[in-house]
Amino acid sequence: MNLHKKGYLAQGREVTITGHMVSTRSHYMKDGVAFPLKRSEIKLSEVSIITGGLGPSPRLEEQVDNDEAHMTDGEMVASGAKQEDIPF
C-alpha cells in the first residue's frame, strides 16, 4: 500500500504478485444466459509484490515518439541524431 501512496503503482504498470487464489470468474449471467467477460477475474488474498516484481511503467505517447530508434551500420541510433553524432 505504501508504494501506491507514493505513486509507484501507476495505472498500467506491470507488477509480479503472489498470493492465495480465492476464486476465478470468466462468465457472467444475464437473463439466464452466460456471457464471457472481456477479461477474466481472479480474486486473491494475502497479496504482495515479490522482490524485484516492479516492472516497467506505462510509456506516454510523447516518450514513444521521441525515443524511437533505428539500426544504422549495426549500431543503435536514436531518431533525430545527426551522422556526426554517431561514434565510429
**C-alpha–C-alpha distance, residues 83 and 88, integer Å:** 10
Sequence ranges of the domains in the chain: 2-81
The pLDDT, as a whole number, for residue 84 is: 53
Query: Is residue 3 within a helix (H) or strand (E), and if so which, with residue range?
Result: helix 2-5
The pLDDT, as a whole number, for residue 21 is: 95
pLDDT tens digits for 38-79?
Answer: 999 999 999 898 888 888 877 766 554 444 554 444 555 455
Identify which of 14, 18, 9 has the alpha carbon closest to the alpha carbon of residue 47: 18
Q: Band of the pLDDT at 1, cuts 50, 70, 90?
A: low
Amino acid at 71: M
Question: Percent of the chain scored above 70 by pLDDT?
Answer: 66
Residue 1, C-beta contacts closer than 8 angstroms, at least 6 positions apart: none
Tell me, rounded to whole angstroms, the distance of Cα 53 from its chain centroid.
Answer: 12
